[in-house]
Amino acid sequence: MTDIIKAILAINPNAEVSVEGEGVDKITWLNNTPVISNEDILAKQAELQADYDAKQYQRDRAEEYPDIGDQLDMQYHDKKDGTTTWEDAVQAVKDAHPKP
């Protein structure tokens, strides 16, 4: 779950707070930072988590793409040999982890 401080800073990037634990009931607002309601914090936290979850395919793809050096080598040989090794490798990763 997205942490409370990230949610608060997404609402107010200038907020100064201290949070004890994971609950919204343990927030200390510092230096006259305007208080944000618990409901707004929890809603933003859920929104940020949904956005993170929706981008899982990006993280999965990043782990499976060949190393950039290998990709450049594939592109060189594809141009030289008239092959599609690089395109095939990238498409295989995209097929394995489709965009929702």
Residues in the chain: 100
Which pLDDT value is given to residue 86? 98
pTM of the model: 0.73
What's the Cα-to-Cα distance from 15 to each of 9, 32, 91, rounded to whole Å?
A: 6, 9, 43
Instruction: Give per-residue pLDDT as tens, 33-80.
Output: 999 999 999 999 999 999 999 999 999 999 999 999 999 999 999 999
Which pLDDT value is given to residue 21? 82
Q: Where are the domains of the chain?
A: 4-54, 57-96
